[in-house]
A = this chain, B = another copy of it.
Amino acid sequence: MYDLAKELYPICRSITGNGVRETLAVVNKHIPLDISEVPTGTKVFDWVVPKEWNIKDAYIKDKSGNKIVDFKENNLHVVGYSQAVNDRLSLQELTPHLHTLPGKPDWVPYRTSYYDESWGFCLSHKQYLSLADDTYDVVIDSELSEGSLTLSEYVIPGETDREVLFSTHICHPSLANDNLSGIALLTYLAKELSVISTRYTYRFLFVPGTIGSISWLSLNENKAKNIDHGLVISCVGDEGGPTYKRSRRGNAPIDVAMEHVLRNSHLNGELEDFSPYGYDERQYCSPGFNLPVGLFERSKYGEYSEYHTSADDLSLISPQNLGESFQLVRSAIDILENNRKYLNLNGKCEPQLGRRGLYSAIGGDNEKANKQLAMLWILNQSDGNNSLLDIAVKANLSFSLVHETAVLLEEKGLIEEIEE
């Protein structure tokens, strides 16, 4: 995952344009994406697909002809969606177009202006303070023109057409945690799920933020009704969190599953209620859809200091953090896949576990004891109302133990799955 993020890091992405296409071409080497283009001007609910933006070069040259700010060195130097410029400007004229972070004088901020036609450069505050009161050659070789927005998805069919949705945005330029970590995690997750058989159908969306998910929902409105569970994935490579923000429903199975995963992790996870700002869960959880889609992150977006700055680079993310995040999401999938309701076939009093070799009469280690507890809990609670996840939560046991134990009890003929 880290290597994929590294490979994608230099590409200049935005909500449209060739950077997104180049990114998807790399992902496509791992999983077979279904890529589609939505033309500029297409109406998608209340929005209109904007012009496509592409950029070849951009720089500020000082009087001596030195490129002192150079897009080719770091694509954050140009405000996203900047119009073309080719001019000589005094420092005074240039300054309103310059963005810096006075509080973090060494970092370059990340800025965009998708829906306001303008242009600008981002640079470190330190460099800004060193600029001589002089004239500068300013060039942005960009094009904003009729084109299209690029959407992509990968669907792995399961036993049923009920779906689990995973979505990540692909519109940020050289930012590692906010964006590339999500692309990398979902690429490898899709790769892993593609070779196992699953109950659910899995849909992976790699789309530009906001306008991308809105476009997908607008063009695929009929598919939304199949989505039983979903996660937006972002900022999963740093060492913060993990954080789970609940879906708008608040108690959807994905919410219960993620809470269980975080509580059973050695990491000190944090749970948040839904709020209507963040990533694309804003769209999936808009009242007209109200899909059971939560947000999984490590550090919370906007709350870590490197967020939307040049410091969100490859050093902020690590293979270990990505691996941990992957495992947490994988555990949630295990829950969704294996969460069933069973019926205790001996509802009146406990069945005799001993005669079936299920009872270790004397002593037993801690794992055995927990397995014993899991048996008793499953038998007691399997009255048709409680799923294995409900039971794991109530019993304060791990879902995997409860699931394994249910499989054993089913083999022994003590419980029977309830078809829903």
Chain A interface (Cβ within 8 Å of chain B)? 44-48, 99, 111, 113, 115-116, 210, 213-214, 217-218, 221, 248, 275-277, 282-283, 285-290, 344, 346-352, 354-355, 361-362, 372-373, 376-377, 379-383, 395
Q: Is the CB of B380 within 8 A of A347?
A: no
CA distance in complex: A275, B213 (Å): 45
Q: Is the CB of B380 within 8 A of A285?
A: yes
Contacts of A348 in B (CB 8 A): 45, 217-218, 221, 286, 288-289
Closest to A375 in B: B276
Set B46, B213, B289, B347: member contacting A287, Cβ < 8 A: B347
Contacts of A214 in B (CB 8 A): 349-350
CA distance in complex: A116, B347 (Å): 25
Sort A-B residue pairs by CB-CB distance and give the 4 closest, nearest first.
A288-B347, A288-B348, A276-B380, A287-B383
Nearest Cβ in chain B — how far from A288, in angstroms? 3
CA distance in complex: A376, B274 (Å): 12
Contacts of A372 in B (CB 8 A): 277
Nearest Cβ in chain B — how far from A385, in angstroms? 9
5 of the cross-chain contacts (CB-CB < 8 Å) are A45-B351, A213-B349, A286-B348, A286-B349, A289-B348
Contacts of A395 in B (CB 8 A): 275
Contacts of A210 in B (CB 8 A): 350
Contacts of A379 in B (CB 8 A): 276, 286-287
Nearest Cβ in chain B — how far from A191, in angstroms? 30
* Known A210-B350, A214-B350, A287-B344; 10 more pairs at CB < 8 Å: A45-B349, A45-B351, A46-B346, A46-B349, A46-B352, A116-B354, A276-B377, A276-B381, A288-B348, A290-B383
CA distance in complex: A6, B130 (Å): 68
Q: Is the CB of A248 within 8 A of B288?
A: no
Closest to A359 in B: B115
Set B46, B221, B350: member contacting A351, Cβ < 8 A: B46
